[in-house]
Structure 1
Amino acid sequence: MYAKLHKIRNVMLSFFALILLIVLPTMASAEELESHLDDALNVRSDKVWTITFNKPIDPASANSDSIYVLNSSGEKKNGAITVSSNRKSVLVAPPLQGYTNAETYTLHMTRDIKDEKGESLSSYTYKKFTIGSSASGTYDIVSILSNGTTNLVKSYAKFEEAVTNLKADQAIQYNGAFIKIPSGLVVTKGTASSVLTNIYSDKQLTKAVTYVPANTELLYIDSTDTYVEVNVADKNLYIKHENSNLLPWNAVKGRSYYSVSNGQLVHSIYSPNTGSYASYQVGNAPNFMSSGQTYFSVDGAHFTNATGQEVGTSYPYFQYLSARSKTNYSAAEIDAYIMSMLQKLESDYPSIPMYQQAAQKSKLIGLGSYLKQVEATYHINALHILALAQHESAYGLSDRAQQYNNLFGLYVTDNNPLAKNFITVEQNINELINAFLNKNYLPPNAGYANGSVFGNKAIGLNVRYASDPYWGAKAAGHMYRIDQTMGGKDSATPYKIGITTTSGLNVRTGPGTNYAVAYKYSNAGMPVTILDDNLPASDWIKVISDSTSYDEVYIHRSYVQMLPVK
């Protein structure tokens, strides 16, 4: 031991030493070409490594080239590299989806790490660690400090004991990870088998109703040692702990929000993985919102201010307009819009290769007539199809659109990016309609039926069609901008939008119980686009049919709640 310490003392005279906290001992001597620190077993999948130096380092030298984690295939798999404010510590975060169970990784620290004088680490250092689920631990009650860190209060062998002794402002950790917090957010993470997080309607986690990708922000409601309860699009549902990173409010560094810009509602989505925001335009801003203010919403309809106070409710019109509706625009007008948009992309982004010669190469060119034919034949709004194509294929300019005529990402999933080829874009559109929309999504009792609107993760196509929880809002945003660019015909005289309030609801062919049942809504909360709510039979309203067998159908007024739409 003395000899080893003597070597290190000599190294520190001309270089600087390194200590990896908790597990890693002091670094070996400079005479060794490579320093192999002891292996670690049963490491948690969300392990954050802390490296501490005996003097400040040059922050620029601590990066993904000098400190990194490799898997057994030699691929870099760590998350962010963060230098502490005193520049004596470096945190190596896990990848967003966590390390893979039973996989062996190697943490590498190269000689590229330098101190403030530019002197390098004495040796190349590495440490192997294996992820395992067998690591045992205690249920630790902790107090949460204002900076998001914690102090241990007391440990218990069982979760139930910890809960019994838990105070309202405290949290419970297991193996260093939160499993119960007073309040805050949950950020989803993938597993070794899938990048997706299944969302369940039951606490037993047996009835999956939808899914979201890793890095999705959800509002925390409650949790036990077996499940996490979260708010998904204004519904309380459940996910597994293995898919959850619980963040008390004090530990939240950023959060998705809504704001107003030039009268438009803008949604800015925060990425916990990168610490950055990406924004898109939803539609018209509600009247209760003001420029310069920040608003929050779990479903894009019910809004609170920064203090959590409710400020109003407003549903974006095109997000809840039935796909069975008809646009007021002609084929020629649609073609003119497509060409003008492509020319604008060319002009606005001349240095981006994708947009160069957009008006000559886009797969959307000349689709107006076919989209109107689809609308008449298959009862799907031409602008719904166009908006979806714009969103999924970058205006017909994406690689999948250009190479495979795939405008909608058909058969491309988060876990299996299949390169499905279509002979023509018309064949691709037919596949979307016949194999997806009119087969599984839009008919009222289809396998994935949740309403014939873009919607969100609780209503409409977005529930099962796409993992992105904001896919419906983004697609609707395209439809809104299409309409605005073309003159606003479709929003000039908008339909009223409603939502059903009971399960097992009979939808009839006429305004009375003496008329035949056209179909039945098994679940409550189905969106309806209203054609007439001022009928002679005043107890009934006429709505656009979700079934292609009818143009319009009737629902008793008492079972429909009108939605405030903007």
Structure 2
Amino acid sequence: MPENGVVLKQGKVIAMSAGIAVLNKPISYEITCTDKMPLAKNTELEYVKSDGSKITVKIGDRTGTLSIVDIILIPALSELDRSYYEVVNSKLVFKIYSHTNGSFEGENVIGVAPDFMKADTKYFSTDGITFTTRDGKKVGKAYNYYQFLPLRTKTAYTAKEIDAYIARELKDREAKGSSGDTETYGYGAVLGSKEVGMNVKYAADTNWGAKAAAHYYAFEKESGFKDAKQNYKIGFTNDSDYLYLRVRIGPSTSFDELYNYKRFNLPVLVYGEENGWYKITSDKLHDKAVYIRGDYITLQETTK
């Protein structure tokens, strides 16, 4: 197919050279032969290819096949609106588009923009990690601190400070006549996206993790960025060939295994190193440090 090519059937796009696929109904998207994740109506997926009836799509690194009747194909260079990210005053703003309502649902400021992004430019992502231009050209990867910070970190705020902020926000929303909706499922104890974290299976809304991160960032901005200043180190398990990655109670193989990770690319909070082993916060109830061999963890810089 030529660049920017489109195939129509009875006025409907059934194949194209590049673009996105938008769900027109909720579905269960197969992750493995034994596991699925929910995806809501209006979810935007990366288009891969089409045979006219079956559409191959991606969300993050997960490739799947959907029926043409369940989606709407939007060519990359189409002037139709879609969700996008932009830089405003050095901050990363996520604007979410509802294809059902034909309008944007508001702005979510989720933190400081990555260095590779420029103002007055729209960026696109189906997983909140890998960003592209509208025509699908990749421009960079970034992990937002508030979206991928492990939830087992200790906050610098008191319960009183958090409750006070929530009360102010609820009062403000009620005054505007609006209200908000009030197990990690094995994909990592971070808010995340459909690539990694609670958002993989906890919420059908692909943008749930980004929306929650926007609330966290707004609270931090008002309260002095105390959590951002703690300089937590975030790592990801990195060996796809090493199933059942062992987490031990000490920094060598002579120590007992406490639990294991059955998937790779899972986020962990790293707060020390001993003898080539990273000291991490346990994802299983345990009141002491646990350890993973250093070569099985990749430290990841984040944007705040």
Which bin holds the TM-score, normalised by the shorter protein?
0.7 to 0.9
| Structure 2 contact 124–132 (Cα < 8 Å) conserved | yes
The answer to whether residue 37 in structure 2 is matched with residue 210 in structure 1 is yes
Name the SS for the 2:38 alignment partner: strand
The answer to whether residue 2 in structure 2 is matched with residue 182 in structure 1 is no
Please report how far the alpha carbon of residue 306 of structure 1 lies from its aligned counterpart in structure 2 after TM superposition. Answer: 4.7
The answer to whether residue 110 in structure 2 is matched with residue 282 in structure 1 is yes
Query: C-alpha distance in 2, partners of 1:340/1:353?
Result: 14
Cα 1:241/1:310, change in 2 over 3 Å: closer
What letter corresponds to residue 217 of structure 1 in structure 2? E
The answer to whether residue 238 in structure 2 is matched with residue 501 in structure 1 is yes
| Structure 1 contact 189–197 (Cα < 8 Å) conserved | no
Residue equivalent to 2:162: 334
From 299, 303, 313, the equivalent of 2:131 is: 303
From 253, 263, 281, the equivalent of 1:523 is: 263
Residue equivalent to 1:475: 212
From 227, 232, 254, the equivalent of 2:59 is: 232
Where do 1:266-415 residues align within 5 Å? 266-278=93-105, 279-306=107-134, 308-342=136-170, 345=172, 350=175, 352-353=176-177, 394=180, 408=182
Query: C-alpha distance in 1, partners of 2:53/2:284?
Result: 41
Please report how far the alpha carbon of residue 541 of structure 1 lies from its aligned counterpart in structure 2 after TM superposition. Answer: 0.6
The structure with more helix, counted as a fraction of residues: 1
Query: C-alpha distance in 1, partners of 2:16/2:92?
Result: 32
Cα 1:208/1:252, change in 2 over 3 Å: farther
The answer to whether residue 251 in structure 2 is matched with residue 511 in structure 1 is yes
| Structure 1 contact 313–564 (Cα < 8 Å) conserved | no
Please report how far the alpha carbon of residue 168 of structure 1 lies from its aligned counterpart in structure 2 after TM superposition. Answer: 4.3
What letter corresponds to residue 16 of structure 2 in structure 1? I
Query: C-alpha distance in 2, partners of 1:549/1:226?
Result: 51
Query: C-alpha distance in 2, partners of 1:171/1:292?
Result: 28
What letter corresponds to residue 541 of structure 1 in structure 2? Y
Query: C-alpha distance in 1, partners of 2:115/2:89?
Result: 13
| Structure 1 contact 544–553 (Cα < 8 Å) conserved | yes
Query: C-alpha distance in 2, partners of 1:257/1:459?
Result: 20
TM-score, normalised to structure 2, is: 0.87
Please report how far the alpha carbon of residue 236 of structure 1 lies from its aligned counterpart in structure 2 after TM superposition. Answer: 2.5
Render the CA deviation track for 1:448-493: whole Å, top value 9, x for unaligned: 2111111111211111111100101111211122122222111112
What letter corresponds to residue 220 of structure 2 in structure 1? D
Which entry has the higher C-alpha Rg, 1 or 2? 1
Please report how far the alpha carbon of residue 239 of structure 1 lies from its aligned counterpart in structure 2 after TM superposition. Answer: 2.6
Please report how far the alpha carbon of residue 551 of structure 1 lies from its aligned counterpart in structure 2 after TM superposition. Answer: 4.2
Greater RCO (CA < 8 Å, at least 6 residues apart): 2
> Percent of aligned positions with the same letter in both sequences?
35
Residue equivalent to 1:101: none
TM-score, normalised to structure 1, is: 0.49
Residue equivalent to 2:80: 253
| Structure 2 contact 76–135 (Cα < 8 Å) conserved | no
Render the CA deviation track for 1:490-521: whole Å, top value 9, x for unaligned: 11122111111123211111111111111111
Please report how far the alpha carbon of residue 531 of structure 1 lies from its aligned counterpart in structure 2 after TM superposition. Answer: 1.3
| Structure 1 contact 200–239 (Cα < 8 Å) conserved | no
Structure 2 unaligned runs (5+)? Answer: none
Cα 1:488/1:498, change in 2 over 3 Å: same
Residue equivalent to 2:28: 198
Residue equivalent to 1:545: 282
What letter corresponds to residue 202 of structure 2 in structure 1? Y
Structure 1 unaligned runs (5+)? Answer: 1-166, 191-195, 355-392, 395-406, 409-436, 442-447
What letter corresponds to residue 471 of structure 1 in structure 2? W
